[in-house]
Structure formats: C-alpha cells, structure tokens
Structure 1
C-alpha cells in the first residue's frame, strides 16, 4: 500500500463520518513559542484549549511536521525522521473515548478491499493510563482484545499535557507487533523496537495545575471533553509496505538509492554506510519540504535548522566518499517521490533547487576552509608532542565554522591523532543546556494566552480600518500584566480589547497604526496594535487622561498622516516586488517585507548583488507605475480562486479559506495581502531605492524611502551636489569626472609624500647604526627617535638597523611618539635570542611602564601605551633587561 493511498484512505474514512477535512498547515508554526509545526494537533491547539471557538465539531487532517530534537537518532532506528506526516482526527466537545476507540479499531482492522488498512487483530497491542479503567473496558468491549494485550502504564508513557497549567488527560496508544524476529515478547511495556507505536489517542478531559514533569495537580474537569489523535503515516507505510524502516518507504527510498548510486556503495552491506544513506534520504526530504513552505537557509531560527539539515546531508555524503556536489541529483529524486502528495514541490522546484544548490556550494567551500584550519591545528598538536586534538578546537570548528565533528574525528584519525571528545561533549552540553533554557522560557505561550480566551469567545474583532479612520465601539476587556482587570487610570500601560477597531494591527510586514482611543472622560495613546490570537485585536495603550473601564463606549482614531504614509509604503512594496520580477524573472520571489510610514524594505530570493544599472531599472519601472496612475483594487475571494488568477502569496505566510487580493493595474501586480493601500498608484508619490544588500547566501534585501521621505532624501542629495558644484566650480554633469581627477591627484600626491618620507627614514638609518653600543652581552640600540607618522615607519627603522648591525648578538629597541601616543618596537637576531633576548618580553616590559600592553614574537614585537613622558624610563627598563 503506497503512502499516498494510506493518506487518502484516512481522509476518506473520517470525511465519511462527518469530519471536516482540514488541509495541512504550513511547517512554519503560527505559535511564536514554536519554530515549526511539531505535531498534528498544533494547528488545532486554539480550539482544543478553548482559546478560539472551534468552527466545526469534528475534523481530520494529514499534517506536515518537523521535529529535530532526536536528530542524532535519525538513521539509527527504524522510526526516527525529522519530517513526518501525522494523520489526525479531532473532536471538540463532540464524541469522546468510545467514539475515538471505535473509529481507530474500525479503520485499522477493516480489510484493504473495504477501504481500511487491513491489520490483523492478533498483531495489535494497546496501552492505557494505569488509572483509566474506562478506556481499558472500552478496548475490551469494542476490540475484544484479551486483557494481557491491554497494558496499563504510568504518566510518563500514557498521560498528555502541554507542560503548562491547562488541558491534560490520559491517552491510549496502539502498537503493531513485528514478531519474535525483532525482539523479546512482552508487549509495548518492554520498550522494545519489536512493538511499533502507530496511533495515539489523547483524551483531553482535565484541567491541570502548575508543577514540574508529571507531578502536577488535577484541578477539575474541562468545560468540554476533546479528542486529539495521531497516526504516524510513515510508520504505517513501512509496516504496510513490508520494509524494515521508514527510510525504505516509497516516499523516501528513491533518495536513499540515489545516494547509494552516487557513492558506489551498496545499501545493506555496511551498517555505518546504511545509517549515512538514511540520514541523507531523511534530511533531503525534510529540507525539500521546509523550502517548499518558504524557509530559507540562514544562521538563526528556522533557517538555521534548515541549514543544519542540508549540511548534515553534505557531511554524510562526504563520509560515504563523495566530495563533489550531489544535491542536483538527490533533490530531484525527493521531489519526484513527494510531488503526488504535495504538488508544490514540483511547481516551485526552480526556487527550491536554486536555494539547495547554492547552500551546498557554500558549505563545500566552508569544508575546504575548515579543513585548512584543522590541518594547522593538527600540525600544532603534533609539534607540541600531543597525540590529541583539543576539544575546544573541535568545538570552535563545529560552532563557528559549521565543520561537523564527524569530519574532525575522521581527519584527526588519518593524521594519527585522537580528539578530546570529553571536552568537546562538555562544550556541546553547555551550549544545548543554554538553548534548552532559552526554549523553555518561551514555552509559557499557551498559559500566557489564556487571558484572551474569554474575549475571543465573544467573537472576532471587527476591523473597519479599510473603510474608516474612526470607529465607535465599546471596551470588551482590559488586561494589565497578563491579568484581566476592570479599570485603568492615568499613567497605566494596559491592553484594551474593543469590539470593533479602525486601528490596523501589525501583520503582513506592515507596522501597526498610530492613533488614539477616546471616550467620555478618557484619552488613551495607542502604543501598539497586535493580534495575540487569531481573530482578536489587542491595543497596547497608555492612559493619558481620565479613567477607562470595561463596558465604556470608546472610539478608535487612526492618525491620518501615519496611515497615509503606511498605505504609500505598503503599495510601494507591491510595486517594487512586481518590478523586481519584471527585471530578474519569476524566481525573484518575495521572502519577507517590512513597511511603515515613509519606508519599506523587501527581501527576495536571489543570490547575486544587483548592479547599479539593475537597481536603477527596478526603481524606474516602479516609479513608472506610479506615473501611470494605476487603479488599486481589493477583492475577497476563495483561496483557490485567488491562486487560479495568479495572485502572489508570500512563502510561509498563513492564509485562510478566503483571502484578500490586492490588484494594481489590470493586473500590473496581483498579490494576497491584508494590508492597507492607496486607491491609485499615483498616490504613492515617489520611490527612492536607497540600498541593496545580501542577507544570506540566497537572499537579498532592497530598502526604499517612499513619498515625502523619498523627496526629502533626494532634496538633501541635491543640496550636497549644489555645494560641490559651487566649491569645485564644476557643472553638475562634470562632477564625477572632476572628483575622479581630484582623487587620482590626491593618490599621486600621497604616493610622492610616502616616497619622500621613506627616503627621509632611510637617511636616518646610518646615524642610528652608528649610535649602537655594547650593552652587556649584546650590541644594542635603545633610543627615542622622536615623532613619527606611523608605527609602520618605526618598524621600518627598527628592522633596517637590525639588518645593518651584522650577525653578532643584536637588539634594537626604538621608541617614538605616534599620533601623540608612545610606541616601542623591539627586534632581535638569532644570536641575541640564543642568549635569552626575546623581543616579545622586552616590548611587554616597556609597554607596562608606558601604561599599555604589548608583546609579539621572539624576533619582533611591539608595545604601546598612553604616557609619552615615560618613554625614557621604558627604554632604560629594556636596557636593564638585556642579557649580561
């Protein structure tokens, strides 16, 4: 049974039983405490927790998920994958334990011919929470399972909660017994890989209190009982396809086979090679799916996880003996295996492939430079007589240069060295502990949002700002320091929830509106406007005067000047995006944006800098659209219809079933967008593209000033040009040539001055050589040479004098005032060093007296400080330290 068939049977089964089929959400999670959608239930959390009223009583989905906590286990076990698909069915106060157990057993054991999965009843085991007698009895009655195949386990195995105060409840898991060839008898309680968990049914029925781990109190029953179940699609696929693990199923095996082909090694012949091939197959698929949802490689957040997956793939291919690029072969294999279920991986493959290939090329260069650094470290360890490479060196290579520890171990071993793995592991543990602490600090999101649930239950906030700048409404709620309160007084900074608002909440790259909320006897300054949960708008305000209370009549008032500027900037973003695509092609796709009154920036997928001519062309095209006074219109329509019209969507952005489409011209630009816009393109006024830069190996950023801000910037440049034309007495059109001539003349003059200064320095050398004298066991010149232009001049004098004093033991120590600060440089020859005269030690001695620091190599070193008057004493200290 193919994976796509397993997926479709699930959706058909639950759809026929009254469940609303919900498309998979993006891998990029809406929850700010999560980087990715890590479980099938994540998109339904607001409904399961009661934060947002569920739009349907029961639902089903096949959700794309990414989870990398167990990344080191990938390839080593039959079931660990970073990308996986979770089949889920959900009930929001509808059916409960009996319904969930009935559906699960029916679908699993119904024959394939009748639309089920056709599992033999004798191969299925069940676990329940040890105190959940209801579930135990239901399994006995509905499935007819013997008691020994229903195992009672503790909270750590069969109890669910978010880890925070809130919903909780027992769960029940279904396992498939692979048979005695795969391990010991005894059921899932043994923890053996023989028993594969394929389905988890969570019975969300209690409200839990605060506590750590599984030690928390149950405060009572939830207002409604919910069902959240999940069946691992890949796990069922490998069981139904009769293969040994998830890496061998039809959606993953083609990449594994391609990796084997490229490496010339047979899958199944060597355990270590098999693990590497599985890692490649898993990580390439995960990377493909992440990039299809708009994630791009970077050094932080989601982009860092993607980059790590890509680089682990490159590393694994290298360990398989392949040093050349492989992604151009591996990624198409994954695309072809996944496109039946996710057509977007094919339609958007040009962009995905370009990102992947560029990242591989970059990392191969990193490996080359990392190898050079490692070679130096190996030589240093050998020279010191050590048989071990320091752990901090291995960690530096891993953490700073992205150089995998496996390659460090491999190269060190080839050189006859081991690696201080204990020290490396300790540094890695410290890093992970810090990362986990950071992550833990963000996991209070669900608890923090619970304060909004009562307000969201009253319905969605109505946004009137597309049509009105002022809107009369009423205060639904006031929140201060995370707690709901009834009144706020002068000076308080609180959140205010209104039934309707004309103030735009920050979203879609557009900054929140500025403005105020006023009512009878109170005036609130709006500091920020956000959507803390879907459908609810919260206004962060400071009470400027009066006192505001829940239930008061209130009017939201948008600052018209700010809104006008924001509309100009957002429409300018669309114009620049369209112009970019006209000039660069369709692959120059928006990857993010930010706009506010007078300013916009746009990130886009592109790997090369834009020439000045290209920037000018983009700017000219966008301003041409402004000149053409194109109509800007908006329409609300189903998402599928918008896509069929060719409306551009931002990768990684979340869209509902209905969307707002903004069209400029007919259509010059057509995008999905919830922001505010001008009515006609001419109202944008002017676009001044002020910068273009890299923000990653495959992303660029353009920034523009818009409207009056663009004009003021150009006016400032005009003033500068006018001043230059006046001072240089040159017409504007001749300025570039005139300035170029002046720069060339200046460089020539600087060169002549440098030649004169060099000659002057050389003329001083004979006198300095003649001033050398015997001090102790060496011939030495220890002297203050006065003021010099640079330390380089001082170094030139020192090395020139040393070279002329012969091969006997020589020490030259010269000091000077450079830019008002003291500098001393010491040089020794080999004969002097053999007597113990070390330049670094002598320079450090002098620098200590000069009020600074210094040091260097034994043959040449430099010191400095802040006290010019101490030069004489510092030179005396050098003389005293010379060998006798």
Structure 2
C-alpha cells in the first residue's frame, strides 16, 4: 500500500501526504483564493485537502483525453470537478477558480508529466467550461429549492420528502449536501435514510443495466474458449484464408461455438466489427455470424448451412474479402479523420468512441461545440487530400515506450501490454491500433462526411462513408439534385438559387396576408347561410396547411361577426378540419369541440378544443364533403 504519495511523505518527513512538495502548493493556492488558513479548523482543512486532491485528479484526467460528460469516465470526471467547486464554495471562494487550480498542478508536476504543459490550454478550457456550466446548474437548483421550501412551509411541515431532494440531485445535478445546508438555513430538514435508500435503488438499476449490457452469453463464450485448452492464433493480418482444423465446437442457442487453431477472422474490438465469412469441411459448412474477442483469444459463432462440423476435422476458413476491404477503408479513413480534426480544431480532440464496419464509419470525439460548415468542409477536404497523396500505411509491433516516444496516440480506457501494435500513416498519424488497414491511403478511394451531430455532453459524432459507399452517396445526391432541378424547371447548376428564391418567397408570403386569402374569406362570407339568425359557413376549401385553414376561418368569422365557420381541407393525404364559433353561437348551444369531433370520425381521425375554436385531423380526405355535411347538420340541429 506504499504509493508515491505516502513514500514522498515519509522521505520528506511531513505529517501527511498533503504537506509534500507536490501537494502543498495546491493547498497554498486554496489559502490564497479563500483568505483562510489551512489547519485552522477541521472543515477548512478537509475542504482544502479535497480541493487539492480533486484538482490534481481532474487535471491529469483531462490531459489523458477525458472530458466532462454524463457517461462512463466523463461522469467520474464531472463528479470530481463539481465536488471541487462545492468545496471552493464552502471556503468562500468567489468567482471561477478551477483554471487556476489546473495551472498550479501543471506548474508542480509538468516536469515529470510534460503532457500537463502541452495540453494546458485544453485542460484550462474544459475546467472553465465545466465551472461555468455548473454555476448555471446551481442557479437553477437554487430556484427549484426555493420553490420546494415555499411549498413545504405552506404545508406547515418542517420536513422535506426524500424523493424531492433526490429529484434535485438525480435530475438536475444539484448536490445533496448543498440541499441539506440550504434547507437547514430555512429551518427545514430531509431524511438522510430515505435519500440513501433512493440512491441505493438508483445504483441497483445502474448495476442491472451494466450486467445486462455484458450479458450472460459472453460468459458462456469465455467458458467455452477456456475449456478448449488452446489459444487461437490470428493470421488475418497476413491472409484472408487459412487451412486449419475444427479445434473445438459446441452448440449454443441455435448457433455453433467454434475455435480454430489458426483463424483469419478478425474479432470485434477497438471499434472495428468482426469479420464475416465461411468455415467449410468435408462434412459440412457454416457461415461466420460473429467473432468474439476473449482477451488475446477468440471464438467463432457459426450458423450451420449444410451437414455438420466435427471436432478435429480439417477445415477451410475464408473471410468475406469484400466486407473486409470495405472495413479496412473505413478504419484507415477513421485515422485520417482523427488527424484532420486535431489539425483543424486543436489537440484537445481525442477519440471518445467509434464504429468501423463495411457500411460506414462513426467517430465520437471530445469537442465542446458544433462544427461550423467551414470546419466540416475543411476536415473533409484534408482527408481527401491525404487520400489522393497515397500515403503508405504500415503496422509495426514495438514496445509501448518506443511507440509513445514516436508520438503514437493511445485510446484512453484501452489496456495495453509492454508490446503494442502501432499503425502509422506516413507523414499523417501514428496510433496504437489492432485493426486491419489498407496498404496506402489511395486505396480508400473516396471519403464523404455525411453527418456531424452531438453524441453526449462535450462529445461530437461524425459519420462518413468511403469507397463504393461514398460513390453511392454522391450518386444519390446527384439524383436528388437532378429531380429538384426538374421540378423547378431549371438547369442543375441553377437549382440552389431557384430553391433559395422559392424559400424567400415563402417567407415573404408567411409574413403578410395574401390578397387571394382575403378574397377567399370574403367569398366564403358572401356564401354564408342564415340559420335561425346566425350566419353559418361550412365548406371544403384549399389551404396549404392546418395553420392557414385556421387563419382563413378567423377572417371569415371577423367578416361576419356572430357566426359559425366550419372549414375542411386536404394536405398531403391528410384531412384537416377547423370550427370557429362566436360567443353568441356558443350561448345558443353550438360548440366547436363537439362539431369537429363528430366531423373527424367521418374522415377517420379525431380532435377537439375549446367551445369557440377546435381543430381535428383524419386519414381519409376523400370523405371531407361528408364530414362538412355532418357538421352543418349538427349546427342546424343546435340552432333550430
């Protein structure tokens, strides 16, 4: 149990690890910022120690590529940072202070850990952003807590229900300790036992989800692989075919689990999906449905297609070459994308997850804001430039220390041994990677970035396609452009301008009432029928949507004064209905909600609203005349 901190405390002959030369400067900063003295009392000492410990931890985590989020390691970092902020508040520190804390850690430990200096701008940026975001969380929580205090006092109680405090914590991220502190100031309290019980339940749900995500199926695969008594040797870097034997096999839930002494099939890992292919022997053949990774070993899930596969018999294992090539294109393109993003956006960009399959690539990366159109275009252009330049792609096995010295990037959270596999795109990037790749970037052929979205807090997601899939994406876009140009009756090169003019015209029409709309309202008003002293309009009209239909009914009613207006229209295969009834008509028993509900049944839909105005929709616009006729009968029945 003698770690670096304890050893330093012994060697330096100080009373605690917080008095060592690498922790005391952080304590000193806490004193400078708060104006309070370390050791003055238990609460102050405790708060400053937490501040120092958490400040160091969060600085190293961000330097390693972790960013605050609501998932996995990002959630751990967020909790550490927010606890540090809470302790700063307890010490009376006003204003942002996390950036200064990170800078002090970098000063103290930067010689031994150079990344703390090279990544300092990124570290300080994330610290400032999280502190600012948590300030908003605290402000919102304090407003919600004030409302809770008011309701509790109005009820004549001095106890706040545990589920209310838990909701503040779980839904809004408001610290429970701060909730208790603020409640105490108001003479209120909350049951700790009840809150702890709710927390335990939440943890059980989380553990259950974690257990389900692992699944008992993989445990069976692990047991099968271990019972086989040998480890499969992956030969898929060198070849996509192998003459081997069926080393072990057993049935599992409709599939066959199998192990081969030599396997050309890549096992899913590092974001890359497993290979597809076939295993054939004299007695039968099977399709490879999946390849499970079991540490450095693997096991195949097979779907039997013909005959049987027998243990010990010779077999021919063949990888689906087209799928492998497509996956290789996408995997190398992922490395290029990562490099282009870091070049364009900054070195704070780190991989936060990925999917590499034959169909597409998906890349999650740390970044706090949406990429601009210019960023997207620049990143795509840079990747395409590297493809055209045909950079050689090499994979070498080396020591981890040597790979790090060469600047190879490691995926945070992955476990690496002393020996690692480094994939180098010459002149572009070096990454620790066990996946399969093309021999040169030119083999990717084409790269097209299809979407850029948010994946999680402070994590963006890019999807892209390469090779034939990229060509198909461009073909589909070209066909869409050709179709749009045909509809607008302009050359393809003028389609964007024509659409822009059309959109401008639509916005202009939306801003002001059209003359034709006024004329239509006047025409409907002129055709109104007098029923027992009230003007009634019930017709099927043409309108671009439900909103315009309601606006038209308003104009007709304004023109007529005391009136009942029921209109219907068909839009894109749907029926829309609106009833607009004056207060005088409501007093005589005509209610808009009753009218549209009855009419909506005729067109196979439903709706409702107030007595004076109601709307409805239906799936059968052909029956609109029948629906309007039934509405007219209801109005007449109410008035006569």
TM-score (norm 2): 0.79
2:310 to 549, 561, 571: 549
**1:310 counterpart = 2:85:** no
Match of 1:356 in 2: 127
What is the distance in 2 between the residues matched to 1:239 and 1:424? Answer: 41
- Taking the aligned partners of 1:332 and 1:610, their CA distance within structure 2 comes to 28
CA gap 1:375/1:500 in 2 versus in 1, 3 angstroms: same
Alpha-carbon spacing, 1:431–1:646, altered in 2? closer, same or farther (3 Å): closer
Choose from 359, 375, 391 the match for 1:630: 391
Question: Counterpart of 1:449?
Answer: 222
Q: Is the 8 A contact 2:557 2:565 kept in 1?
A: no
1:278 aligns with 2:24: no
Quick one: distance in 2 between partners of 1:376 and 1:826? 40
Q: Deviations over 1:567-612 (max 9, x none)?
A: 1111212222233333334333433332122422223332232222
Using the TM superposition, name which of 679-688 and 571-580 deviates more: 571-580
Q: In the alignment, what sits opposite 2:622?
A: none
**In 1, Cα distance between equivalents of 2:539 and 2:289:** 60
How much does 1:343 deviate?
A: 5.2
CA positional deviation for 1:749: 2.5
Q: Quick check: 2:340–2:379 contact (8 Å CA) kept in 1?
A: yes
* 1:523–1:704 Cα change, 3 Å: same
Distance 2:408 2:326 in 1: 25
Map 1:192-591 to 2 at 5 A: 231=2, 234=5, 247-338=18-109, 344-379=115-150, 391-414=162-185, 418-419=189-190, 424-439=195-210, 449-455=222-228, 458=230, 460-481=231-252, 492-533=254-295, 535-591=296-352
**Any idea what the Cα deviations from partners look like across 1:755-775, whole Å, max 9, x if unmatched?**
87689989999xx9x9999xx
CA distance 1:605–1:470, change in 2 (3 Å): same
- The CA RMSD measured in Å over matched residues stands at 4.7
Q: Could you say if the C-alpha distance between residues 871 and 277 of structure 1 is closer, same or farther in structure 2, counting changes exceeding 3 Å?
A: farther
- 2:624 alignment counterpart: none
d(CA) in 2 for partners of 1:600, 1:331:
35
Residues 351 and 651 of structure 1, relative CA distance in 2, 3 Å threshold: farther
Give the conservation status (yes or no) of the 8 Å contact 1:822–1:871: no
Task: Give 1:398 shift.
Answer: 1.7
More helix per residue: 2
| Residues 1:715 and 1:424: Cα distance change in structure 2 (over 3 Å) | same
**Per-residue deviation, residues 17-71 of structure 1 (Å, max 9, x unmatched):** xxxxxxxxxxxxxxxxxxxxxxxxxxxxxxxxxxxxxxxxxxxxxxxxxxxxxxx
CA 1:446–1:669 in 2, change beyond 3 Å: closer, same or farther?
Answer: same
Residue deviations 1:81-127, cap 9 Å, x none? xxxxxx5xxxxxxxxxxxxxxxxxxxxxxxxxxxxxxxxxxxxxxxx
Residue 731 of structure 1 corresponds to 491
Determine if contact 2:70/2:457 at 8 Å carries over to the other structure.
Answer: no
Contact 1:847–1:874, Cα closer than 8 Å, also in 2: no
User: CA separation in 2, counterparts of 1:352 and 1:640?
Assistant: 24
Deviation at 1:401, TM superposition (A): 2.0
Q: Secondary structure at the match of 1:569?
A: helix
How many residue pairs get aligned? The number is 610
CA displacement, residues 374-395 of structure 1 (integer Å, 9 cap, x when unaligned): 4455555566666665544433
Q: 1:502 to 1:304 in 2, by over 3 A?
A: same
Cα distance, 1:625 vs structure 2 = 2.0
Which residue number in structure 2 is paired with residue 204 of structure 1? Answer: none
Task: State the match for 1:652 in structure 2.
Answer: 413
| Structure 1 residues 574 and 746: alpha-carbon distance in aligned structure 2, compared to 1, 3 A threshold | same
Say if 2:438 and 2:444, in contact at 8 Å, map to a contact too. Answer: yes
Mark the CA change 1:434 to 1:542 in structure 2 (over 3 Å): closer, same or farther: same
Write the distance in 2 (CA, Å) between the matches of 1:309 and 1:786.
65
How far 1:527 sits from its partner (Å)?
Answer: 0.8
Unaligned residue ranges in structure 2 (runs of 5+): 619-626
8 Å contact kept, 1:633–1:664 = yes
Matches of residues 676-687 of structure 1 in structure 2 within 5 Å? 676-687=436-447
Aligned residue number for residue 711 of structure 1: 471
| Shift in alpha-carbon separation, 1:261–1:685, aligned structure 2, 3 A | same
Query: How high is the TM-score relative to the length of structure 1?
Result: 0.59
Helix, strand or coil: the match of 2:302?
A: strand
In structure 2, what is the Cα distance between the partners aligned to 1:577 and 1:670? Answer: 11
CA distance in 2, matches of 1:402, 1:632: 46
Q: Indicate conservation of the 8 Å contact 2:553/2:578, yes or no.
A: no
Give yes or no for contact 1:784–1:871 (8 Å, CA) kept in 2. Answer: no
Say which SS state the counterpart of residue 655 (structure 1) adopts: coil
Mapping for residues 681-700 of structure 1, pairs under 5 Å: 681-700=441-460
CA–CA separation in structure 1 for the residues paired with 2:78 and 2:457: 11
The 3 A distance-change label for structure 1 pair 726 and 816 is closer
The 1:502–1:233 alpha-carbon spacing in structure 2 relative to 1, beyond 3 Å, is same
Quick one: which of 640, 643, 662 aligns to 2:401? 640
Q: Which has the higher strand share?
A: 1
**What are the Cα deviations for residues 392-447 of structure 1, in whole angstroms up to 9, with x where unaligned?**
44333322221222333344455665557666445334323323444566698889
| Distance change >3 Å, CA 707–CA 276, structure 1 → 2 | same
TM-fit CA distance, 1:471: 0.8
Q: 2:531, 2:12 → 1: CA distance?
A: 91
Q: Secondary structure at the match of 1:744?
A: helix
Determine the C-alpha separation between the residues in 1 that align with 2:569 and 2:164. Answer: 37
CA distance in 2 between partners of 1:252 and 1:516 (Å): 59
The 1-side partners of 2:537 and 2:173 are apart by: 48
Counterpart secondary structure, 1:683: helix
2:540/2:569 contact within 8 Å kept: yes
- Say if 1:545 and 1:254 are closer, same or farther in 2 by CA, change over 3 A: farther
User: What SS does the corresponding residue of 2:246 show, helix, strand or coil?
Assistant: strand
Q: Please give the per-residue CA displacement for 1:776-814, whole angstroms capped at 9, x wherever unaligned.
A: xxxxx9x9988897589869999x999xx9xxxxxx999
Alignment partner of 1:549: what SS? coil
**Residues 557 and 568 of structure 1: CA distance in aligned 2, closer, same or farther (over 3 Å):** same
Summarize the Cα distance change of 1:372–1:580 in structure 2 as closer, same or farther, 3 Å threshold.
same
